Structure 1
Amino acid sequence: MAATSDPENVARAFIDARAGKTPLTVYPGAFPQTMAEAYAIQDRAIALDGRRVGGWKVGRIAPELVDRFGGNRLTGPIFADEIVDGAADPAMPVYADGFAAAEAEVLLCFGEVGPRDYSIDSVKQCIADVRTGIEIASSPFPEINRHGPAVTASDYGNNKGLILGPSIPDWQDADLIHMPVEMFVDGARVGAGTMEAMLDGPFGSALFLIDTLRARGIAIAPGTWVSAGAITGIHEVRPGQRAEALFDGKIRVGCTITSY
């Protein structure tokens, strides 16, 4: 397909499908061919949606696509009204006829982010909290992840919510990279891993997000969350199932998957 020439129409189609809880059996336009085109659609959708953005998810671009798309990560907004406290054992709705998955992730909360340039080490200075959590990925387009990162990014990065788990004690000195993480669906372990596989780790995701949002003219307000990337994989779920992540063998966060 040729590059999309009308970000507004694509953005409106996704917003209408999300609001109407109706599946999109085909992509609502021409596939975006670059991340710039994808973010143009995303930016227009955020403006049309009107809700406050409370965080951003960061996902990985497959190694074989890095050269084509000019980077190894993508991002999408997480709306404030879809960020929930995991202590309440929340029910998280997904698009049952679209795509739905749960991902164990480390969540970083930004404090003040000034205009200075950051490095992978100094970016920690603007992080106020680090928590465990689960990202809910869901889109009314069932094939959202089958056509490359630009398509994924164009629909909010395939995000549908964020569950805030307990904070990681003494995270500044903790060995986050080697912390074991497991993911369970209906009590069965579906994935396990550490942040060693996450490129340059969760703080690399924070650095990527600062640079990417600056380039798009988007400020990062104090209290903004970043879901730093799937640690154990992308685990598809369906309504009625329970998803639970276990961090360091002792910190649990979970939810029930529901349908609209």
Structure 2
Amino acid sequence: MDQGQAIAQAFVAARRAARGLSEYPGPIPATLDQAYAIQDRAIALAGDAVAGWKVGRINPPLDAELGSNRLAGPIFADQVTAADGGPMPVFAEGFAAAEAEFLLRIGAAPDPAKLSYSHDEALALIDAVHVGLEIASSPFPGINDLGPLVTISDFGNNHGLVVGAEVPGWRDLGFVDWPVRLLIDGEEAGAANAATMLDGPVGAAAFLFGCLAARGIALRPGQWISSGAVTGVHPVRVGQAVTALFDDGMTVSCTIDAATPEEDVSEVNDERKSG
């Protein structure tokens, strides 16, 4: 077994068992290609339907070194919910965070052979924008400390998505200037707007379309793009309550729960969907 396959197997096994990994399970990937190759193997091992993709930022100076200012990871269908206020599981022995995000829904599949998209070309493929929360979690507590290549290798550090209401009049893109706040147990953890995020949520979509085409991964109508943390990446603990406020009017919330081993997952998912 090669090292990339062993890393992928270690992460998938830890996620299924809902247990932590005290160390990164192999040599740290040195390039984007190596990191995404591990992610691709882990997706195949997981065998779950992909309902969308998260997009995160790669900060300077690593963006220049790696040749990309963003990264991507899969969001699995059984980890997506519209149950506002319901429980969202994280790895209690690993890393966990909540992020206020704008969620873009793909309306038309991108050309799988097209590697570069303008802002307008990407916007034309979107059919809705919603407010939401990304739940970032990994069995490895040092996932963010070791940099974006490690983040990429474990599904981009994603473990769920809470889909809130649709943004009215989203096509005029006025929502990028909305004030966004994230509260943890009622205390403000961060505040910003999407205009500060590189080239904005649509830029995240343009990046993703090109990134996945280069990896030979086709996108489908109805899949979600979690376009990036507006107010930052905010660590959370089991038992905490998270609320994101958009434009002082739209909210989306969840409670942080402990992930359970895979044999218990079906019961947890049933509770989340009915919540």
Provide the C-alpha distance between the structure 2 equivalents of 1:174 and 1:69, rounded to a whole number of angstroms: 30
2:265 paired residue number: none
Question: What letter is aligned with 1:43?
Answer: D
Q: Does 1:139 align with 2:135?
A: no
Contact 1:86 1:253 in 2 (8 A): no
Aligned amino acid, residue 181 of structure 2: E
Question: How far apart are 1:174 and its partner, in Å?
Answer: 4.1
Q: Which runs of 4+ in 1 moved over 6 A?
A: none
Cα distance change on mapping 1:174 and 1:72 into 2, 3 Å = closer
Q: What displacement does 1:67 show?
A: 1.6
Structure 1: tracts of 5 or more residues without a match: none
Q: Note the aligned Cα RMSD (angstroms).
A: 1.3
Deviations 1:102-135 (A, max 9, x none): 0000000001124266311221111011000000
| Per-residue deviation, residues 38-95 of structure 1 (Å, max 9, x unmatched) | 00000000001000000000000011111211110000000011010044x2200101
Normalised to the residue count of structure 2, the TM-score between the two structures is 0.91
Paired positions, count: 256
State the Cα distance separating 1:28 from its structure 2 match: 0.3
> What is aligned with 2:47?
50
- Distance in structure 1 (CA, Å) of the matches to 2:160 and 2:148: 19
Normalised by the length of structure 1, the TM-score is 0.96
Structure 2 distance, partners of 1:67, 1:200, is 16
Is 2:37 the counterpart of 1:66?
no
**CA distance in 2 between partners of 1:160 and 1:7 (Å):** 21
Distance 1:146 1:31 in 2: 12
List gaps (5 residues or longer) in structure 2. Answer: 260-275
Q: Is contact 1:184-1:244 (8 Å) kept?
A: yes
| Residue type of the alignment partner of 1:24 | L
Identity %: 51
Alpha-carbon distance in structure 2 between the residues aligned to 1:92 and 1:218: 27
For 1:103, the equivalent position in structure 2 comes to 99
- Cα deviation 1:134-169 (Å, max 9, x = unaligned): 000000000000111100000000000000011100
Q: 2:185 and 2:101 mapped to 1: Cα distance? A: 18
Alignment counterpart, residue 6 of structure 2, candidates 6, 9, 16? 9
Offset from partner CA, 1:175-214 (integer Å, 9 cap, x none): 1221110000000011000112210000000000000000
Asked if residue 35 in structure 1 is aligned to residue 32 in structure 2, the reply is: yes
Which residue is equivalent to 2:109?
Answer: 113
